[in-house]
A and B are shown apart, each in its own frame.
Chain A
């Protein structure tokens, strides 16, 4: 059981370049989210999805794009990288069924540096 898998683990981009951060989960979770973690800022929600074909913006969506064509995958696209997007990115997934909510399962993160 792999859980939530993020690739790559590390990436260096030049300003203006684009790239896609990959996220896949094998738990058949309906909910998936992308967060970024910055020093002193905690984790901030970028985009989230409540199911295939459904996405919505979070707290800091500008400069990012997402799509959810399958339940398993939720890629995050940086359209034109900027130094302000230097951060650690976490993908997370959660079930939507009944029972006590146990929160999201997080991937191990992608550390992105934009120079």
Chain B
């Protein structure tokens, strides 16, 4: 049972435009959500997170939105840059931070 789902395996966006990556979850006990970015042959790197008590968190060009009633979160990248081309993973945790459940990832390609 996939508790964290990223239904779009890939996304292509032009440079300068907005990239929107989506994530859905089924476990209502999740209370912290994170986005990771992964380049080929490297480990994932932390990008941005949001607590379940908030509905928005912003860090520079990256904003994460959380809709608890819909069990949905999204990552907005504005403006998109070629260096943003990577695989993005959504992850969630319950209670303690000891375990993360990941989605299957979305490959973002930012074209010139």
Q: A residues within 8 Å of B by Cβ? A: 4, 31, 33, 35, 40-45, 48, 50, 58-59, 90, 92, 94, 96, 100-109
Q: What is the CB-to-nearest-CB distance from B104 to chain A, in angstroms, rounded to a whole number?
A: 4
The answer to whether the Cβ of B43 comes within 8 Å of any Cβ in the partner chain is: yes
Q: Is the CB–CB distance between B103 and A42 below 8 Å?
A: yes
- The answer to whether A42 and B89 touch (CB under 8 A), given A101-B49, A104-B46, is yes
Nearest B residue to A40, CB-CB: B104
Query: Does B45 sit within 8 A of A, measured CB to CB?
Result: yes
Instruction: Name B residues whose Cβ lies closer than 8 Å to a Cβ of A.
Output: 4, 6, 9, 32, 34, 36, 41-46, 49, 51, 89, 91, 93, 96-105
Would A109 and B104 be within 8 Å (CB), given that A101-B49, A101-B97, A103-B34 are in contact? no
Contact A44 B98 (CB under 8 A): no
Report the tally of A-B residue pairs with Cβ distances under 8 A. 68
Min CB–CB distance B84 → chain A (angstroms): 19
A94 to chain B, nearest CB (A): 6
Taken together as a complex, chains A and B put the C-alpha atoms of A66 and B32 apart, in Å, by: 26
Pairwise interchain contact B98-A43, C-beta atoms closer than 8 A: no
Sorted nearest first, the 9 A-B pairs with minimum C-beta distance are A106-B43, A42-B104, A43-B102, A103-B46, A42-B102, A103-B34, A101-B97, A50-B98, A106-B44
The chain A residue with its CB closest to the CB of B34 is A103
* CB atoms of B43 and A4 under 8 A apart: yes
A55 nearest CB across to chain B (Å): 11
Known: A4-B43, A90-B44, A109-B43. A100 touches B98 (CB 8 A): no
